[in-house]
A and B are shown apart, each in its own frame.
Chain A
Amino acid sequence: MGLMNKIAETQVWKSIFRHGYPSNPRNRALAALSNVFLHLHPVKAKKSGIRLSFTWCMGGITFFLFLLETLTGVLLMFYYRPTIEYAYNDVIALREHVPMGIMRELHRWGAHMMVLAVWLHMMRVFLTGSYKPPREFNWNIGVILLLLTLLLSFTGYLLPWDQLAIWAITVGSNMARAHPFIGHEGPGASLLAIGDVSLVTPASDIRFGLLAGRFVGAGALLRFYVLHCVALPLAAGLLMAIHFWRVRKDGGISGPM
């Protein structure tokens, strides 16, 4: 500890951390308090709440996977161009030119497991009754995060532009065709018409808006790419910040009264 204490007295350390090495209660509290990331935690937590058998660390695992996806995703973006000419070949090139490359694997298996981890996290929160007052609102933030996680995974599924991708998205987005009123094969769509001119057609309905076309094509690829790499991660990141903040503000991880 002698060396660490010496380092903790240098000007560089002090300029970064503003407190000594966290080996006594005061500095440990300051470590959590004066760090923007650690400050998402409270300074002290209930013993019952941080037990692995209580939370299974599932929320934490979900967050870990989100970070893993961000990191590997950014690396993948260096090699990938979201156009019909390039997308497939870029992914193949990645596989062939990078020896031992595992970024795509990490990204894909991480995505699958993130979906599973959110489900299990939700089950844990439900089974411990942690959505009950005062945590109703945070449960709802969670539901939106669940949706965002599924959408992130869904939009990413299209990007390799192989048969698996295009047809999974076709099957998924075909549902939008049947959206009541705003899908062209949905009940009530024929009611939205001016005289004989139908307003909801294959070229104007909700599916068209989603795919930027009647089929899963170039427009859909670009749209999904932007959603997947920019819009959805930003939204999810923002909501996660609120989610963690609220965990703390609602009294930390739940426990018996």
Chain B
Amino acid sequence: MELFKSIVNWCSQPAIYISLCTVGFVLLISRYRVLSRPSVLWGLAVGIALFFIVGAQDEDFLKIITKGDNMPIVIMIFAILATLGMALRQAAVNDMRLERGLPPTEAEDRGKVLVWPDLVYSEFICTILLSALFIAWSVAVEAPMEEPASGTRAPNPAKAPWYFLGLQEMLVYFDPWLAGVVFPGLIVVGLMVIPYIDTNPKGNGYYTLKERKFAISMFLFGFLVLWVALVILGTFLRGPNWNFFAPFDYWDPHKIEPLVNINLSELVWVKWIGTKLPDNILIREAPGIVIILAYFAITPALLAMKGMKRFYEEMGFARYSILVMLLLCMAALPIKMLLRWFINLKYLVAIPEWFFNI
């Protein structure tokens, strides 16, 4: 038990946890045919359930997972496992058929049925089952209600609603203007342009992974790793002061994290060149500004020549530029994470005078 706890605690440190999620994601995409086998999926489901059951022997852990508003996240883990598992299973079957020159199974039952009764009845049964489920849940668990609101006594931690905890987690790496405004805005814009920049005509109306590997990998990476995994992290592993707490830790509000992060300008001017910070803001922050401009100006051109040449030729300039800009913004989060973990970087560009920190 103690060994189990310390292994879990070690694995859930943000850097390790996010790296493990990424590795898991790469495995998922590259080994989806094996991973979506029913036996593997059931194994995973039982494994996760066992993890929660064994973990629940620990009081701190039990307290966190059974909090009313945290239950959706536990449910989410299983719901994603089930739905994604079904989707990848079907994709694996279809991809195998497509390789052999057969149509996807969805094409087999092309026939039409009358909506009344076939569809209306299943909707009806679905409604009854769901109603029963929600009534049972509501009888069993009381909705949370805390002390009356007080504008002066802030609870610690003060958390946003669970579905926004991915954004709150982003605040560790970016300032609010990016994590709370620009990135959410880009997520919405990014979702909206998907149908207009994905010019691949294949995979319309059936599950497949092989025919749309790039599109699906990008979407699932964003959804599973950069959104869902961060929601889980924000819910279960962030305690008072948004400090990291492993699943079997007590949430100690007095835990102190040393602040060792350093800005790129200090790194360059003070540590590497050995002078003091220049007074002119733009000169002081020049290294970071140059890096960011280069990131957004040069990378797309480089990728168009090598790596994503095919995309550039097939999509045309406008679609390609939008795609790459969005991908670069999405990649900014993992990049900033790596910079933080490895060189304790705080800001690439730090101009607090203008509230402009990146």
Contact = CB atoms under 8 A, between A and B. Distances in A.
Interface residues of A, number: 102
B295 to A, nearest CB: 18
Contacts of A57: 122-123, 126
Contacts of A115: 72, 163
Interface stretch (B149-157, B300-308, B334-342): B149-157
A18 interface: no
B114 A28 contact: yes
Interface stretch (A5-13, A169-177, A225-233, A235-243): A169-177
Given A110-B134, A123-B87, 8 more contacts: A32-B114, A46-B109, A48-B110, A57-B122, A129-B205, A143-B191, A171-B160, A256-B106
Contacts of A160: 145
Contacts of B83: 56, 58, 120, 123-124
A46 B110 contact: yes
Contacts of B192: 139-140, 143
Contact of A256 (B79, B103, B188): B103
B117 A256 contact: no
Given A123-B223, A147-B188, A130 B115 contact: no
A108 to B, nearest CB: 4
A136 B201 CA distance: 13
A156 to B, nearest CB: 9
Interface string A34-55: 0000100111111110111110
B309 to A, nearest CB: 23
A106 B135 contact: yes
B113 A153 contact: no
A153 B356 CA distance: 31
Contacts of B91: 127
B274 interface: no
Interface string B131-157: 100110111011111111111011100
B252 interface: no
B90 interface: yes
A140 B195 contact: yes
A250 B120 CA distance: 20
A163 B147 contact: yes
Contacts of B205: 128-130, 254-257
B148 A161 contact: yes
Contact of B119 (A45, A102, A174): A45
Contacts of A64: 126-127, 130
B122 A44 contact: no
B287 interface: no
Contact of B72 (A29, A95, A113, A217): A113
Interface string A113-134: 1011001101110111111110
A44 B113 contact: yes
Contacts of A201: none
A255 B106 contact: yes
Nearest to A127: B87
B307 to A, nearest CB: 24
Contacts of B164: 150, 154, 172
A47 B195 contact: no
Which of B111, B192, B205, B223 lies at the interface centre, i.e. has the most chain A CB atoms within 10 A of its CB? B205
Contacts of A132: 195, 198, 201, 203-204
A178 interface: yes
A44 B115 contact: yes
A104 interface: yes
Interface stretch (B15-23, B176-184, B255-263): B176-184
A24 B98 CA distance: 39
Interface in A170-229: 170-172, 174-180, 183, 185-190, 215-217
Contacts of A175: 167, 176, 179-181
